[in-house]
Structure 1
């Protein structure tokens, strides 16, 4: 009994092992090429479709060498598949193949005959193709889209697009009038801004083709449409693959109009040709990006600015131009500037949906390369174990903050610790004030070995992004030590 039980257990485990491993081999691969039957040239972008059975329906397109591949066909038993190949200006061809789990079928090729050639068949009968009148609908294939991107309604651009599907039978033949079908179109996802399809239903023509139109609403986004046939005679619903069409935004809206600079303060007063990128972002009244190609024009009161970006706004409603340093050097008396030279106003303008000009401005500082540095106090007497504190000011020669990216450091000499505003990089500042032009630091003696007094000089260094350095050595004093 033990021996029988052991055999039964072994057989049971073997059955489980075989069952588990067989699933890994159920994928079938079919590969091949589509060529011109007249000259053998490869046909790129041809459609190859599994048309039957319906549960295996799939399609792909040939690459530039005319090659195609299906690698995700899962079968669990011997199955008869029908594949069809088609291309513009060629007669379609269908072929049958029997597959089993794990098959890797190569060189399953199609040779398509150019339309107009009289090979005596008058249909899809070349090299094993199927001829004769079409049967019932089995597949819906996208035939073409007039515009893959459209604009929001009433923006003055293209606001609708037509699309066509071709309905084929299980042998890849286009439906004729005797087997015409009513096709229903639907939007399966979209921005829900009032977009729609007209007509909702249409009947295939003598070539099995059916056409409808998508019109946009007032919101931007991606719309997915689908075609569907319900064959009540056999209880089958046939659907196309979803087709995506993009709706771009509407007219510019002032509340969704912004302008910003990479640097609000750049080294443009003393240098010609320094470039400072500025970016405009434009949205419509719903907060969607305006349609690509919307024109934005720029002016400046200092230097030179590119009139508009190449191609105008992109798909995100953005356009970037360069403000280029040069004459005239600006002297705008803007609020907060104190009336000093160096301030420029850059203006971006566009047209809204009411044909009105709207604009946004940004203030830019053209800073000098040389710095003006002062400190208080300028003398000190550092007592044993004591310290000293200072305030200092760094501006450009016009009294404005130095350019963004300017490096400021303080050197107290050997065995002097400096803390506070030292060894840092200046940020984007438009106007003078604490953190922009006004700073502070402290020093402390860290030499615990020497008892000798010493004279000290504190050096402040300012280095601009172009590498020009200004130094200040106006703080001096004595470090006193304890007497042993």
Structure 2
């Protein structure tokens, strides 16, 4: 710690130095007095310069006060007094026999300081206040409460009486919400908070003290406190309201009484900003779904498809729950609008309505991706009332008039079933919807072969495919002679059964 002159001693020496030196040389004889006086005049100039330099040097900002025992007011000797926050201002000292302490701190800019006072058999006390260069804080009075003292069986009220003193501590007692929404998004954009204000004895202060509220840091979207200054009530409380701006983030709020008393910072989250185009996404449950020429109703098992959208703000946080999204489609019927949940997701139902998009008899034009395709569009309002949109394509496929064919492997030559004794024969099974697409996602395909044989196809569930090819419309399998009792060729039969999501079925047999 840097050693410095006490400012009071500097002033005393500076104002009394001449009289001190004169008293030193006064006992000399008159003749010698004038000689000594001339010499000591030079000494006076030197002493004044020395004191001036010492007192004007950068000796830091003084933090001083007294530590007393709560309830009795007795001085607490040997208490440890230390600045714990900020880290770069950490200093410590101990109280003297009168409970007084003092040390110097080099502070470049205004900072909120946490002072901690501790001693064995006492509860640790903390005090928050603001400290700035050149502005000493030398009037601190800090009370320590004994951790061992009992009340001796006295059940009387231990409340300290008398008139309350000025504010010494500020504590947050309530806040309506620690999470508020960005301004203009439709959510709660403000939160009311209340602080209790007490004096050095822990008593609520009287009515009429001004408490200031400030935003230490924030997202920079125009957030503010209203009112910025409020007056304590007769109960020693004071309230104000924090209001969000147009940006999401975290607000650090603080209450203060003058330049020396400050509260612990309060954090308020501002979330759920406006939807951003880059964070607006869409996806159907299935791209390929059973809908071509089908009409869903309560009288059948035709199933709807579902389209989900995800909305995030500029920080990739979910938008405010209840954000509205509207939907349109070029085929089928779709829910007109939906609202987001707490995850920022909204879901619309796409209902088969008998459409055959792109068919010659359909008023729906052919989609750029071909017959059967349709586009679903979702739209919502972003910042400044601008719309943002996303699109996805879906494929209407059929469960009627599908084609089921059995070919020799790798060809389009119809297969002839002739399984060698104790041997096997390979096949390609090609299944397509009416427009040559893979059958609807979720359809189950089953191949059975006649008694005395086994096959490698079994049962297969169709994936969400949109292009014809191996594994989507063309499936390879083999049938094996498993009858050891019959050494001749097997004139086996193969049956194919397809069950669609609507529970419609299609079958074909081969011999």
Is the TM value for this pair above 0.5? yes
The 3 A distance-change label for structure 1 pair 78 and 367 is farther
Is residue 237 of structure 2 the alignment partner of residue 209 of structure 1? Answer: yes
Could you tell me how far 1:308 is from its partner in structure 2? Answer: 0.5
Corresponding position of 1:376: 407
Q: Partners of 1:78 and 1:193 in 2: how far apart?
A: 50
The 3 A distance-change label for structure 1 pair 304 and 465 is same
Is residue 330 of structure 2 the alignment partner of residue 301 of structure 1? Answer: yes
Corresponding position of 1:445: 481
The 3 A distance-change label for structure 1 pair 195 and 357 is closer
Q: Partners of 2:472 and 2:150 in 1: how far apart?
A: 77
1:166/1:209 contact within 8 Å kept: yes
Corresponding position of 2:357: 330
Deviations 1:440-478 (A, max 9, x none): 22222334444244320111221112322212212x2xx
Give runs of aligned pairs for residues 10-21 of structure 1, distance below 5 A: none
Q: Partners of 2:416 and 2:328 in 1: how far apart?
A: 49
The 3 A distance-change label for structure 1 pair 357 and 186 is closer
Please point out which of 248, 270, 287 is paired with 2:272. Answer: 248
Specify the structure having the higher radius of gyration (Cα).
2
Is residue 479 of structure 2 the alignment partner of residue 456 of structure 1? Answer: no
Could you tell me how far 1:79 is from its partner in structure 2? Answer: 6.1
Corresponding position of 1:317: 344
SS at match of 2:493: strand
SS at match of 1:455: coil
The RMSD of aligned alpha carbons is 4.1
Give runs of aligned pairs for residues 213-224 of structure 1, distance below 5 A: 214-216=242-244, 219-221=247-249, 223=251
Could you tell me how far 1:356 is from its partner in structure 2? Answer: 4.0
Corresponding position of 1:353: 383
1:150/1:216 contact within 8 Å kept: yes
SS at match of 1:255: helix
Q: Partners of 2:340 and 2:369 in 1: how far apart?
A: 32
Could you tell me how far 1:306 is from its partner in structure 2? Answer: 0.9
Q: How many residues align?
A: 348
Q: Partners of 2:239 and 2:147 in 1: how far apart?
A: 38
Given the two structures, how large is their TM-score scaled by the length of structure 2? 0.56
Give runs of aligned pairs for residues 411-430 of structure 1, distance below 5 A: 411-419=448-456, 422-430=458-466
Moved more, 290-299 or 167-176: 167-176
Corresponding position of 2:291: 268
Q: Partners of 1:446 and 1:76 in 2: how far apart?
A: 90
1:282/1:317 contact within 8 Å kept: yes
Give runs of aligned pairs for residues 379-390 of structure 1, distance below 5 A: 379-390=416-427
Is residue 181 of structure 2 the alignment partner of residue 150 of structure 1? Answer: yes
List runs of 5+ in structure 1 lacking aligned partners: 1-52, 58-74, 81-95, 99-126, 477-484
1:458/1:473 contact within 8 Å kept: yes
The 3 A distance-change label for structure 1 pair 97 and 396 is farther
Give runs of aligned pairs for residues 37-436 of structure 1, distance below 5 A: 77=148, 133-135=163-165, 137=168, 140-145=171-176, 148-151=179-182, 161=191, 163-168=193-198, 174-177=204-207, 180=209, 182=211, 192=219, 198=225, 202=229, 204-207=231-234, 208-212=236-240, 214-216=242-244, 219-221=247-249, 223=251, 225=253, 227=255, 239=264, 242=266, 244-250=268-274, 252-269=275-292, 270-273=294-297, 274-309=303-338, 312-331=339-358, 333-337=366-370, 339=371, 342-353=372-383, 355-370=385-400, 371-377=402-408, 378-419=415-456, 422-436=458-472
Q: Partners of 2:125 and 2:425 in 1: how far apart?
A: 84
Deviations 1:277-317 (A, max 9, x none): 211112344434334443321112222111101xx233433
Could you tell me how far 1:77 is from its partner in structure 2? Answer: 4.9
SS at match of 1:314: coil
Could you tell me how far 1:320 is from its partner in structure 2? Answer: 1.0
Corresponding position of 1:83: none
Deviations 1:103-122 (A, max 9, x none): xxxxxxxxxxxxxxxxxxxx
Could you tell me how far 1:169 is from its partner in structure 2? Answer: 5.5
SS at match of 2:440: coil
2:170/2:255 contact within 8 Å kept: no
Corresponding position of 1:12: none
1:139/1:169 contact within 8 Å kept: no
The 3 A distance-change label for structure 1 pair 354 and 144 is closer
Could you tell me how far 1:162 is from its partner in structure 2? Answer: 5.0
Corresponding position of 1:47: none
The 3 A distance-change label for structure 1 pair 78 and 456 is farther
SS at match of 2:502: coil
Given the two structures, how large is their TM-score scaled by the length of structure 1? 0.59
SS at match of 1:472: strand
